[in-house]
Homo-oligomer: A and B are copies of this chain.
Amino acid sequence: MTVGAPTLLSLLEEKPGEFVSGEEISQKLSVSRTAIWKQIRKLEAQGYKIEAVTRMGYRIIERPSRISPVELTFKLSTRTFGRNVRVHEVVSSTQDVLRELAEEGAPEGTLVIAEQQNQGRGRMGRSWVSPAGKGIWMSLLLRPNVPLLQTPQLTLLAAVALNRAIERVTGLDIGIKWPNDLLVDGKKITGILLESAAEDERIRYVVVGMGVSVNLEASDYPEEVAAKAVSLRMACGRMLDRTELIAEILKEFEDLYAVYNASGFETIRLLWEARSINLNKPTVLTTASGRIEGIPRGISEMGALIVEMEGESMQTVYSAEINPWEK
């Protein structure tokens, strides 16, 4: 049943599973075939999958799933993480939205989720593919009582939390590329970006941005990204319930954060090292001050990467591009 003027969506939804002919749509909406195509594209961008068959017409074969705050609250087993939550349809970036809330005094654990980001950001100012309804694009607010120079530890903590939660839900074997990219068979499935605000050496807050490519398909990736990225759906061959995954991630994150606050970085360090794909392999690091060739041996007490250089001297690296070193 449609209310008010019919739309392309209402026509297609009227007879679930059945084709609606282009002619019928043209007449009922009083629009051209070209205009129909444009509207189909719009629905697809919103997460609908529409089949078009010559002489049959169009039908919906997949609907976008929606993250509902009510359902999420029901599935959550956390104390504070995600208890204060906002779900948006489209935002520029969940980071920007949450940063504003943080400045207004939002409590630790506040979560901002978006079905779609039109200016999703990755590390080093790169853009991040975040189409509607297919991924988890969210930001979590932390107000840790640690000095600013310990933020590298939080970066690694976030990687371990996502790694453990996603492995538990999907059964996939997920490696961590330093510092915080999660990879399946060498292809990236998540992006994590920590933005911190500090007053002198005191952290005011940290906004942890998490992008998880959940139900994206190969066609969702731009060509230049497709070689380097994969979705959980593509990797494990089935669609995943995003709300369940969010609940798992928050639970794991909250638990590890509690361990970190209570007894320090050591546990996180060991968990991170156990999942690293970079340790003990010849590696090239491109830092702001130059190129480093060596073998990463572990993570320092402060959260830096310890790299063994030629002659067995050790160097600690906080920020760099990391790649295998092919002699």
Contact = CB atoms under 8 A, between A and B. Distances in A.
B151 A198 contact: yes
A288 B144 CA distance: 12
Contacts of A123: 199-200
B288 A319 contact: no
A44 interface: no
Query: How often does this chain occur in the complex, in copies?
Result: 2
A190 to B, nearest CB: 14
A318 B151 contact: no
Contact of A198 (B124, B145, B146, B196): B196
A179 to B, nearest CB: 7
Nearest to A209: B199
A195 B194 contact: no
Interface residues of A, number: 26
Interface string A187-208: 0000001111111111010000
Contact of A197 (B124, B147, B196, B318): B196
B195 A197 contact: yes
B319 A147 contact: yes
Contacts of A124: 202
Interface of A: 123-125, 145-149, 151-152, 155, 179, 193-202, 204, 288, 318-319
Given A146-B288, A149-B318, A195-B198, 7 more contacts: A123-B200, A145-B288, A148-B149, A179-B200, A195-B199, A196-B197, A196-B198
Closest A-B pairs by Cβ, 10 of them: A201-B319, A149-B149, A201-B318, A196-B198, A195-B199, A197-B197, A147-B319, A147-B318, A194-B200, A155-B200
23 contacts: A123-B200, A124-B202, A146-B288, A147-B288, A147-B318, A149-B152, A149-B318, A152-B201, A155-B201, A179-B200, A193-B199, A194-B199, A194-B200, A195-B197, A195-B204, A196-B196, A196-B197, A196-B198, A197-B198, A198-B198, A201-B318, A201-B319, A202-B319
